[in-house]
Every structure is written in structure tokens, then in C-alpha cells.
Amino acid sequence: MTIDLEDLGLDAGGYLIVQRALRDLPIGSRLAVHGRDPALRVHLAVWSREQGHGIDLSGPAPTVVKGSATTARWSRARRAGDPGPDGTLPHADVRWGLAMRGALVEEGGPPLHADLIDRGVVWAEAAQQLYQHGAARQWNPDTAVRWDAPFALPSEIEGAVVQVMTYLVENEYAAMQIPAGFIARMHPHYREVMQVLAIQVADEARHVEVFTRRAMLRSSEMGVSGAGGRASLQTLLDETDFSLAAFLLSVLGEGSFLDLLEFITRHAPDPVTREVAGLALRDERRHVAFGMAHLKYAADADRALLGRLRTAVERRHDALADTAGLNQDVFDSLVVLAAHAWTPESLRSGWNAVQALQKAMNEGRQRRLVQLGFPSDEAVELSALHTRNFM
């Protein structure tokens, strides 16, 4: 077989034509390479040896003799599943490194330092849909919130808002760090899950920003941080099992926060507080949806998972038994926030609203537990064991 590179040098892309011509030829075939580049013979000889081919320079045109090195190089290569979500394999090989799913993976690369390598441990059938939903609904804190909306609150009401925002930021820090930690441990073969978690991290980063900005909008100081609340959040940060963390954080914790953010949206004494809570609520619904989707998938594959989830709740409850739980300042601030005024009648209304909030949180947790497969009586028991810090 003969090809002509004309004026194209091998070092200027001519090797691609040679490579293409050799691709479908059997081992031992001869390819005569014509061309007018003065360095063709030298460059072709070097390239051929580098690629594992022979070279014959005795004729009028240098001739490449196809060798077996390239074929041997890929003979043991395997594809890392198929490109789409349905192409995931039950187990991802750390030897694939960062190779894209569906790629033909050459042997010899460094292994990936990942331990979340099993589909049953991390997968959710709705992962792709939730990622697309989240990516399409990112919002800009500068433009999504009317920061210059006019309002004036009594100092006690403003102080209550600041305290609630301080509490929310503290909890959102945990909700941001936990998925970020799991991303670093996850094999990219399950990229849809990684993308969902990355969107969650971005969501929580925005929540931290808008809650902080609302707290500082009329105040020069943040509220207080209770030791019991931080202890509760630390138990979430310490959980290393992906499914247990998704259960404690997304299903129970962020699930309870759906009711809290709805409460703040409904009772907010000013438009800015209402808007930041409403925007965060929209994101948190998606976080809870992913946690539920993952746990349903994992529980279908392993019915013993429900027992592990129960043990996780009980273990966390025992670890926090001697802590104060929800900061009293946060509880009182929720009452004042909902009251809108410092009068007996208003405070009674605010108090009743917070009692209704806690009831709604409890009922929501029970409902999600039943959806995961827990019997109703067990759901009641487990919901009652959930941390008093809400998250």
C-alpha cells in the first residue's frame, strides 16, 4: 500500500495520515510513504520505532512495516461500561482512574484513591433527572433577592431574625461539607451521583451567603452558637457511610428543614427573609428527593439496610442524650419571628406556630420513614428519636 503526504511533514500532522493508513492493515503489512518534506525519512524512522513498527529505508520511498506493539498495547484493555446512565457497572475499577465511563482504558495508569466504588452503595435511579433539574434552577443571590426592599422591624424582631439566620448558616455549613466529602471518595464511573452532590454543595454555598447577608442587613453582629447544636451537627460530619449519611442528613435533617423553611417563609416579618427562605426551600426539596431516591434504591437491593438505618438513629440519639439540643435562643427567636410583635396575644400566636412546626416536622419524618419501608409504629418511634436540633 502506498500513500503520499505531498508537502505535509510528519511532524506537522502527517503522522495522522500514516497512522490512519496502518489502522486496518494486518500485522507485517508494508506501507510506502511518499512525500516531498526533506525530513520525511528521518522523522518516519523515529516515529515508526516509537510506535512499535518496523522501517525499511532501502527503497525509493521509506516503508513502514506494521508491528504488533500497538495491538498488544490495547489487547488487555477493557471498556469502563457504556457512556449512558444505563451503562454503569455494579463495581467500578480503581485502575480506571478518571477515565470516562465507556472509554477503552489502557492498562498501567495510577489507581484512583476512591472507596465508594459500588453502584449499590451510591446510586439513585433519579440522579440524572435531579442533576438536570438542579443545574437548570441555579439562582444568583445578587438578583434573585430584593436586598433593597424597604422594611423596618422593631429591634427585638430583627434580633430574632438574626439569631435564626445564624442558626441556619451553621447548619448549612454541615450540609455543604458532607456531600463535598463524599464527592472526593466517589468513583467518577457514577458521575450522575457526583454531579447531584456537586449541585448540592453549590446550593448550600448560596444558602450560606444569603442567610449571612440577611443577618448582616440591619445588624453588625451575628447571633449565638449553641454547643448542643454543634454537637448534633458533628455527628453528621462524623458519619462515613454514604447511605447512613444520606439518611441522617437529607431524609431526617433536611427533611425537617423543609418544614422549618416553610415556617420562615410563611411567618417572615420582612420580604428579604421571606425570599431567602423560599429560595433555599426550593433547593432543599431536591436534596431530600435525592436522599429518598438513593435509599429506596439501596433498600431494594439490600433489605438489611433498614436495620442499619434504625441503628444509626439510635446511635446518634444516644450520643446526643446529654446535650441540650436546640439552642433556647433559636427556639425563642422562632417564636418571636412568628409573633411579629412583643405583645401577649402575638407571642401566644408565635408560640402556637412553633408547636405546629414541631408537629409538622415529626409527621413529615414519619411519612418519609414509611415511604422507605419502615412500619408505621417504628416510624413513630424513630422520628421521636431524631435530634432536638432539627438537623
CATH architecture of 2-71: 2-Layer Sandwich (3.30)
| 260 in Cβ contact with 244 (< 8 Å) | no
| 10 in Cβ contact with 43 (< 8 Å) | yes
Report the C-alpha gap between 99 and 120 in whole angstroms: 20
Most confident by average pLDDT, 24-28, 77-81, 205-209: 205-209
Q: What is the pLDDT of residues 234-282, one digit of tens each?
A: 999 999 999 999 999 999 999 999 999 999 999 999 999 999 999 999 9
pLDDT for res 6:
96
Q: What is the pLDDT of residues 295-324, one digit of tens each?
A: 999 999 898 999 999 999 999 999 999 887
pLDDT for res 106:
86
SS3 of residue 207 by DSSP: helix
Q: How far apart are the first and last CA of the chain?
A: 71
Q: What is the pLDDT of residues 47-92, one digit of tens each?
A: 999 888 999 999 899 999 999 877 666 667 888 888 888 889 999 9
The CATH class given to the 119-385 domain equals mainly alpha
pLDDT at 361 over 80: yes
Q: How many Cα neighbours within 13 Å face the side chain of 229?
A: 22
Domains 2-71 and 119-385 share a fold: no
What value does the mean pLDDT take over residues 366-374?
97
Kind plus residue range of the DSSP H or E element containing 283? helix 271-301
pLDDT for res 84:
82
Residue 385 burial (CB < 10 Å; 0-12/13-18/19+)? Answer: middle
In the chain, pLDDT over 70 holds for what percent of residues? Answer: 98
| 244-248 long-range Cβ contacts below 8 angstroms, 24+ apart | 244/308, 244/309, 244/312, 245/178, 245/182, 246/290, 246/291, 246/294, 246/295, 247/291, 247/295, 247/309, 247/312, 248/312, 248/313, 248/316
pLDDT for res 52:
87
Grid cell listed for 182: 463524599
Grid cell listed for 210: 444569603
Question: Which one, of 168, 161, 165, lies nearest residue 333 by Cα?
Answer: 161
If one counts every other C-beta atom within 10 angstroms of the C-beta of residue 95, the result is 15
pLDDT at 109 over 90: no
The pTM score is 0.87
pLDDT for res 379:
97
Grid cell listed for 373: 419501608
DSSP classification of residue 275: H
Q: Locate the domains of the chain by residue range.
A: 2-71, 77-105, 119-385
Q: Output the average pLDDT for the chain.
A: 95
pLDDT for res 323:
87
Q: What is the pLDDT of residues 116-167, one digit of tens each?
A: 999 999 999 999 999 999 999 999 999 999 999 999 999 999 999 999 999 9
